[in-house]
Amino acid sequence: MAVLLLAEVTDGNLAMDATAKAVAACEKLGEVTVLVAGASAAAAGDAAAKIDGVAKVLVAEDASLGHRLAEATAALIVSLADDYEHIVAPATTDAKNVMPRVAALLDVMVISDASGVVDADTFERPIYAGNAVQTVKSKDAKKVITFRTSTFDAAGEGGSAPVETVGVTADPGLSSWVEDKVAESDRPDLTSAGIVVSGGRGVGSEEDFALIEKLADKLGAAVGASRAAVDSGYAPNDWQVGQTGKVVAPNLYIAAGISGAIQHLAGMKDSKIIVAINKDEEAPIFQVADYGLVADLFQALPELTEKL
Amino acid sequence: MKVLVPVKRVIDYNVKVRVKADGTGVDLANVKMSMNPFDEISVEQAIRLKEAGQADEVVVVSIGVKQSQETLRTALAMGADRAILVVASDDVHNDIEPLAVAKILKAIVDEEQPGLVLCGKQAIDNDMNATGQMLAALMGWSQATFASEVEIAGDKAKVTREVDGGLQTIEVSMPTVITVDLRLNEPRYASLPNIMKAKKKPLEEKSASDYGVDVANRLEIVKTAEPAERVAGITVGSVDELIAKLKEAGAV
Ligand SMILES: Cc1cc2nc3c(=O)[nH]c(=O)nc-3n(C[C@H](O)[C@H](O)[C@H](O)COP(=O)(O)OP(=O)(O)OC[C@H]3O[C@@H](n4cnc5c(N)ncnc54)[C@H](O)[C@@H]3O)c2cc1C
Ligand SMILES: Nc1ncnc2c1ncn2[C@@H]1O[C@H](COP(=O)(O)O)[C@@H](O)[C@H]1O
């Protein structure tokens, strides 16, 4: 059986971690062909060819694919779909935008955010903010799936798959890109970082969020936030961890000033070690924490940053 | 312009979910149900468009069990004009999948001819994040997902989207499907007089077969299980003790 895997490509660059994790998720599914699409995608295609387990890479280059607009990307995937039983992608916002559209065009259900592969038809996925895990068996001839990357280890790099270019379907012209607002950062990527330091409403202000950032920088960590911290303007939206934000599973997750609502836990409770710093000893975050420190974060964070 | 807003009845986001002992699903008997939080945001957005003179009618739709009527009444009390209830199941434990929901919505869109459909980004029960994109596909329309800002001007909508890297702004041609994210607006509460008024607003009842849509699930639920439990942790007394523990565990 054959798998078509939509690689994660941003501005012509391959997001190696997300793509390699999705490749690893396909181990039980069949031979993997990676589709690399973008306004420029050749370099990303060469990078994808190195991922272990990739049998072939298809490069599709066209201006209409430049910003991963759903209409053009879905049309491209559907034009290639005949040859594959599984059409998959890492569960990024790009893929969550595109893959349900692909599924509907093929008249099949989408399996969103799969966290486990039982067999070629059967998958596990979290529901209710991760409060339950459902095993579903697809009755569709083709399976369209996004994989939750935090639960798969990335495939290695050492392969050299052949790279082909494919023709691009006509741009449906339904949408156009206007601008991106992307904050440049030297910190590691939130979804692949080994350590994440997150702040919540308890941090109190955008200025004081620097306490979180300083600790993160000391540890070489990524920075996360609760929804309340993002809604209050302390942190940008792409830092939100949770049911409707990013899902992370680092070796170490430090939550400061976060109460531990289920919607937040949904995004971090698979972390290997969880540290909670909260001044309220009743805060639910302590129920998932390996190490809980009942303290005022304004004292604990600077002390921690200094002594580490 | 008419705006169509699909609203889903889901378990209230504050309720602690319990997996049924027989593994067939999550216990929904006698639990508090509410409107999907994202759908409150889309209803709010539609009402604001009407208040701004950009929309002239807000029609809300819900697909599921008969009790979804309550969810529609809430939307009417917030300010929607009219509701359509599509009864597609008589069992609260039978969740209609996004593909079937999108097909029913397509039939309603064909009938109602809205200029805009505002969906939630994700239903907090199945966490699928799919219906809006599927409807856009079936209609052959543009789509703008995860919206945190929406500006409509003529036959175009400019939408800012919350994406992994930050924010992306795109322009889509109308008619379109927009799915809304948490920061688009803060939904209003329905006032008591509006709740009373909502009881008199039109609510039409239909069934899935009226639209000729087969709602049989494509994904068979093999089992539903509790997630892996975390082992209980410990409380540390000081920052020094925390650092010592983290070093011991090899975490720093
Ligand atoms: C549909 C939906 C989706 C959602 N998705 C997400 C999501 O993806 N991610 C997410 O995070 N949330 C999400 N939420 C929101 C979630 O329900 C909570 O409201 C949110 O996580 C609370 O954030 P918080 O813990 O920062 O704030 P609060 O709950 O207000 O907690 C603040 C904590 O800080 C502590 N504190 C205050 N001052 C100090 C101090 N000086 N020192 C130490 N501790 C202090 C307090 O004791 C408290 O425990 C969602 C909600 C809904 C309805
Ligand atoms: N049964 C339903 N009835 C009405 N609207 C629905 C239904 N299911 C999904 N939707 C809409 O689609 C959005 C996304 O749901 P989902 O794709 O299931 O995550 C919801 O926020 C609703 O706007």
Please say whether the beta carbons of A274 and A143 come within 8 A.
no
Secondary structure element (H or E) that encloses residue A294, with its range = strand A291-294
Which structure tokens are listed for A274? 């969880």
- Amino acid B197: pLDDT: 96
How do residues A137-153 score in pLDDT, each as one tens digit? 999 999 999 999 999 99
- The CB density around residue B174, as the number of other CB atoms within 10 Å, is 16
- pLDDT at residue A171 greater than cutoff 90: no
Q: Does the structure show a pLDDT above 90 at B3?
A: yes
Contact A219 B142 (CB under 8 A): no
pLDDT digits (tens, 9 = 90+) for A41-59: 999 999 999 999 999 999 9
Average pLDDT, chain A: 97
Residue A1: predicted pLDDT: 79
Closest protein CA for atom 19 of ligand 1: A228
Of B53, B64, B75, the closest CA to residue B5 belongs to: B75
- For the CA atoms of chain B, what is the radius of gyration? 21
Q: What per-residue confidence (pLDDT) applies to A183?
A: 82
Rounded to an integer, the average pLDDT of A268-297 is 97
Residues of A in contact with B163 (CB under 8 A): 93-94, 238
CATH number, domain of B39, equals 3.40.50.620
- Sheet-wide strand order for B57-64: A175-182, B166-173, B156-163, B142-153, B176-180, B116-120, B2-6, B57-64, B82-87, B203-207
Segment B193-221 shows an average pLDDT of 97
Residues of A in contact with B158 (CB under 8 A): 178
Ligand found nearest the CA of A113:
2
Nearest CA of chain A to the CA of B32: how many Å? 14
Please state, in angstroms and rounded to a whole number, the distance separating the CA atoms of residues B139 and B118. 14
Q: How confident is the model at residue B167 (pLDDT cuts 50, 70, 90)?
A: very high
Task: State which ligand 2 atom lies nearest to the alpha carbon of B95.
Answer: 1
pLDDT greater than 90 at residue B83: yes
Distance from C-alpha of A186 to C-alpha of A188, rounded to nearest angstrom = 7
pLDDT band at A184 (very low <50, low <70, confident <90, very high): confident
pLDDT category of residue B229 using cuts at 50, 70 and 90: confident
Ligand 1 atom closest to Cα of residue A298: 41
Q: Please count the other Cβ atoms lying within 10 Å of the Cβ belonging to residue B50.
A: 18
Is a pLDDT exceeding 90 seen at residue B181?
yes
Mean pLDDT value across chain B = 97
Q: Whose CA is nearest to atom 12 of ligand 2?
A: B131
Note whether A93 and B135 are within 8 A (CB).
no
Instruction: Establish how many alpha carbons lie within 13 A of residue A258's alpha carbon, considering only the half-sphere containing its beta carbon.
Output: 37
pLDDT digits (tens, 9 = 90+) for A217-235: 999 999 999 999 999 999 9
Query: What pLDDT does residue B32 have?
Result: 97
Closest CB to B225: pick one of A132, A182, A252: A132
pLDDT category of residue B40 using cuts at 50, 70 and 90: very high
User: Tens of pLDDT along B114-158?
Assistant: 999 999 999 999 999 999 999 999 999 999 999 999 999 999 999
What pLDDT was estimated at residue A170?
A: 83
Structurally, chain B folds into a number of domains equal to 1
Q: Is the pLDDT of residue A169 over 90?
A: no
CA of B168 to the centre of ligand 2 (A): 23
Chain A residues touching B187 at Cβ < 8 A: none
Residue B232 clears pLDDT 90, i.e. is over it: no
Residues 79-108 of A with CB under 8 A from B: 92-94, 96-105, 107-108
Please report, as a single letter, which amino acid is at residue A97: N
Q: Which residues of A touch B98 (CB under 8 A)?
A: 100, 109-110
CA A39 to chain centre: 22
- Quick one: three-class SS letters along chain B? CEEEEECCEEECCCCCCCECCCCCCECCCCCCEEECHHHHHHHHHHHHHHHCCCCCEEEEEEEECCCHHHHHHHHHHHCCCEEEEEECCCCCCCCCCHHHHHHHHHHHHHHHCCCEEEEECCCCCCCCCCHHHHHHHHHCCEEEEEEEEEEEECCEEEEEEEECCEEEEEEEECCEEEEECCCCCCCCCCCHHHHHHHCCCCEEEEEHHHHCCCCCCCEEEEEEECCCCCCCCEEECCHHHHHHHHHHCCCC
pLDDT over threshold 90, residue B9: yes
Model confidence, pTM: 0.97
H helix or E strand, kind and range, residue A60: strand A54-61
B170 → closest Cβ in A134, A175, A252 = A175
pLDDT at residue B29 above 90?
no
Predicted confidence (pLDDT) at residue A34 exceeds the cutoff of 90: yes
Supply the range of the domain harboring residue B78.
Answer: 2-249
Which of B226, A237, A285, B38 is closest to A293 using CA atoms? A285
- Within 1-20 of A, beta carbons closer than 8 Å to B belong to 10
Q: What is the ipTM of this complex?
A: 0.97
Contact of A273 with chain B, judged by CB distance below 8 Å, is answered with yes
Does ligand 1 come within 6 angstroms of the Cβ of A13?
Answer: no
Q: Between chains, do B129 and A111 touch, taking CB under 8 Å as contact?
A: no
Q: How confident is the model at residue A172 (pLDDT cuts 50, 70, 90)?
A: confident
Q: Residue type at B18?
A: R
